Amino acid sequence: MTRLHIDFSQPTLSQIVHRGGWRFAIAATLLVLILAGAYGAIVFLNIKIQSLEDRLAELNQQAMRTEKTHRKEVSKPPVANQQAMLAMMAQLNLPWAQLLKMFDSITSKQVALLEFMPDSSTRTIKIFAEARNSAQMTRYLETLKKQENLVNVRLIHHEIYAADKLNPIRFEFEVQWVTGGAP
């Protein structure tokens, strides 16, 4: 049910107010309240957003500080660890196959290699071996000296192994290996 829209006056704002009466007053009050509420909400949200942005910036800074510290920790591992790691890497990088092949080719049945201890930092290999007699030992060391890849062949220690009834000679020596140049 609606009113009759027959009015011969010129439409004006005061006419709308007049027709609305108390309904208009309530609607206007509600509108004002809604607008005030919306404004308040916007102000509140702005403050909230600002505080959140501040908090975010603070967290970012904190995160950056933590990251820097972490980077320092990661980039500067303890020296001992570093050295151990480098040593391990060097050990892994040894030309094992090449060295073993070479020693295998020159070692005769009269000489047995017991222990093989390479040191990658000095490119030195300390070897324990056993020979039938001193002549065999000397011959073996001479053969090693003739190898291109091996230099500084040095006998460190030798003795007769009395526990064995064949009385073999056990000796310790070291060599340096070279890879296409100076050691």
Question: Which residues in this chain contact another protein in the complex, by CB under 8 A?
Answer: 1, 3-10, 12-15, 17-19, 21-22, 25
Q: Which is nearer to another protein, 22 or 105 (CB)?
A: 22
Q: Which is nearer to another protein, 21 or 181 (CB)?
A: 21
Q: Pick the closer one to another protein by CB: 28 or 63.
A: 28
Contact partners, residue 173, CB within 8 Å, separation at least 6? 126, 127, 129, 141, 144, 153, 154, 155, 156
Q: How far is the CB of 1 from another protein (least distance, A)?
A: 5
> DSSP character for 179?
S
State the nearest-atom distance from the C-beta of 28 to another protein, in Å.
10
Own/partner long-range contacts of 96-99 (Cβ < 8 Å, ≥24 apart): 98/149, 99/125, 99/177
CB of 27 to another protein, least distance (A): 14
Beta-carbon-side half-sphere exposure of residue 135 (alpha carbons within 13 Å): 0
Nearer to another protein among residue 17 and residue 57 (C-beta): 17
Q: How far apart are the first and last CA of the chain?
A: 110
d(C-alpha 125, C-alpha 118), whole Å: 4
Q: How far is the CB of 37 from another protein (least distance, A)?
A: 23
Hey, is 147 helix, strand or coil?
A: coil
Judged by beta carbon, residue 9 or residue 93, the one nearer another protein is 9
- What minimum distance in Å lies between the beta carbon of 39 and another protein? 22
Which residues, 6 or more positions from 174, have their beta carbon under 8 angstroms from its beta carbon? 124, 125, 126, 127, 152, 153, 154, 156
- Maximal C-alpha separation, the chain: 141
